[in-house]
Every structure is written in structure tokens, then in C-alpha cells.
Chain A
């Protein structure tokens, strides 16, 4: 079966750095996506990785290792508005997105 694993919840302090991990086992791989979802709102696209390595976009970076079936999302200089759920999703061999359950990130002052 296909599986995406992420921690259920994480807590971090405003101004700090946090790393949210995602491991996956899927039938095929055509890219990995990270989305942000604030409570009661729709998911919004953050980043995409299809090759191994680090993709940086402002305060957010995403890393991929295809051989390890592993990705992480790194958030720097945390702000209160970063409190949200972060969803990891993998595009499988049928070009369908397989979603993790999401990691709820709580930012404390």
C-alpha cells in the first residue's frame, strides 16, 4: 500500500527554526509537494521537489532524498502566522497525489 508519514503535532518558539519531516512509500514517484493549511481554510501550495536536494524559497526550504523516501520542510525565523498544518503529498506513478495526514505546527511567543 501507499503511505505518507508525518508527525501529528509540533511546537516551536517564535523566531526559531523548525524542521517537519515526511517519509513516504508510494508506487512510483513524480514529485513531492508541501502545502500549508490554516485552520478552517484551504490548503495552499508551498513547495515542490522532484530531484534530490534543497529548494529554498524565502523563509521556507524543502529537501528531498528519493533513495531514502524522505523529505523535510524547514521554516526559519518563525512567525505567529506560521501556526498552521503542513501537508506532505507525493505524486505517484498514476500522477495522483497521495497525502499525509498533516503536521499541526503550534508557535509559542
Chain B
């Protein structure tokens, strides 16, 4: 693994189904983030974690949950998917202790909810 990976690359999901998007980083960054990106809108923060064992809500957390059991992994779960959750989801990580807190992004998951 080099950097940050996400799985799956894309997924079509029936409304009402449960789905977990996976994110793993090998940079030993303390902070991780989940964003959604929709056409015409900026990246919107869903949830974040500043360190293993802690999580926080971002701008659009409803319908999503996260966990941070260890430094490397930060899965995002949709408990009961709805069509408005159709989007591209990006996971990112950063070292907030560095002089420039730069976020590095995974390749994204394209999710379609029908």
C-alpha cells in the first residue's frame, strides 16, 4: 500500500441497503476525513477523526457513521442508503502536527443509490 486507498472503486446500491466504504492509509497520519463531492458543489465534510478512538461530525453527517479503531483505517457506513446519497466519496488523511496540515486524498468511491 502506498498512500491512501479506498474500496470499492464504484458501487450501485438499492435504496434501504447498508453499505460500508473502506479507507486505509499507510502514512501514519493522525487525522482522517470523509468528504462527498457533488456536481457544482465544493467538497463537503461528512465526518472526521483527529486520532484513533475519536470521531467528529462534519457539515453533512446525517445518514452516515464512522469508526476509528486504529490509525490506519476509517470506514464510512451508510446504515440505510437513500438516493440523495448518490455521490463521489473521498477519504483523506493529514498529519495535523506538521507545519502545513495538508490533506492527501484517496482515489474515491463512486456510489449510486437507486
Contact = CB atoms under 8 A, between A and B. Distances in A.
Interface string B52-72: 000000100000000000000
Contact of B43 (A31, A41, A43, A95): A43
Contacts of A31: 100-101
Contacts of A73: none
B87 to A, nearest CB: 14
Given A48-B100, A96-B58, A97-B103, A43 B90 contact: yes
B22 interface: no
B105 A44 contact: yes
B44 A99 contact: yes
Nearest to A30: B101
A72 to B, nearest CB: 18
Given A41-B107, A42-B107, A96-B58, A101 B42 contact: yes
In terms of DSSP, what is the predominant structure of the interface of chain A? strand
A45 B104 contact: yes
A91 B58 contact: no
A4 B42 contact: yes
A92 B19 CA distance: 31
B6 to A, nearest CB: 9
A101 B42 CA distance: 4
Contacts of B103: 33, 45, 97
B45 A87 contact: no
Given A43-B90, A99-B42, A91 B101 contact: yes
Q: Which of B42, B48, B100, B104 has the most CB of A within 10 A?
A: B42
B43 A99 contact: yes
A98 B42 CA distance: 8
Contacts of B44: 99
Contact of B108 (A42, A89, A98): A42
